[in-house]
Amino acid sequence: MTLNELEQAVAEPRTHADRSDWTWEQIRAEFPVLRQSIDGHPLSYLDNAASSQMPQEVIDRLTWYQSAEHSNVHRGVHTLSQKATDAYEKAREKVARFINAPDSAQCIFTRGATEGVNLVMHGWGRKFVEEGDEIIVTALEHHANIVPWQMLCEEKGATLKVIPMTDAGELVVDELPTLLSDKTKMVCVSHVSNALGTVNPVEDIIEQAHAHGVPVLVDGCQAVPHMKVDVQALDADFYVFSGHKMCGPTGIGILYGKRELLEAMNPFMGGGDMIRTVTFEKTEYAPIPHKFEAGTPSILAVVGLGAAIDYLESIGMDRIARREAELLEYATQRIEELDFIRILGTAPNKASVISFEVLGVHPHDVGTILDTEGVAIRAGHHCAQPVMDRLGVPATARASLAFYNNKDDVDALIGALQTVKDIFG
Does 2 have pLDDT greater than 70? no
Q: Parallel, antiparallel, or unpaired for β 378-380 and 396-400? A: antiparallel
Q: Which range, of 14-28, 81-95, 97-111, 156-170, averages the lowest pLDDT?
A: 14-28
Q: List the chain domain ranges.
A: 32-48+316-424, 79-314
Give catalytic status of residue 383 as yes or no: yes
- Identify the pLDDT of residue 17: 80
144 secondary structure, DSSP code:
G
Q: Please name the amino acid found at residue 401.
A: L
pLDDT at 226: 97
Instruction: Report how far residue 354's alpha carbon sits from residue 412's, in angstroms, rounded to the nearest whole number.
Output: 15
Which CATH homologous superfamily contains domain 32-48+316-424? Aspartate Aminotransferase, domain 1 (3.90.1150.10)
Q: Is the per-residue pLDDT at 368 higher than 60?
A: yes
Cβ-based neighbour number of residue 355 at 10 Å: 30
Rounded to an integer, the average pLDDT of 142-147 is 97
DSSP 3-state of 24 = helix
pLDDT the model gives residue 8: 61
Are both 32-48+316-424 and 79-314 of the same fold?
no
Q: What is the pLDDT of residue 5?
A: 64
| Domain 79-314 falls under CATH 3.40.640.10 | yes
* Percentage of the chain exceeding pLDDT 90: 94
CA distances for 379 relative to 179, 196, 266, 355, 369, angstroms: 33, 13, 38, 9, 11
Are 61 and 303 in contact, with CB atoms under 8 Å apart?
Answer: yes
Evaluate if residue 184 carries a pLDDT over 90: yes
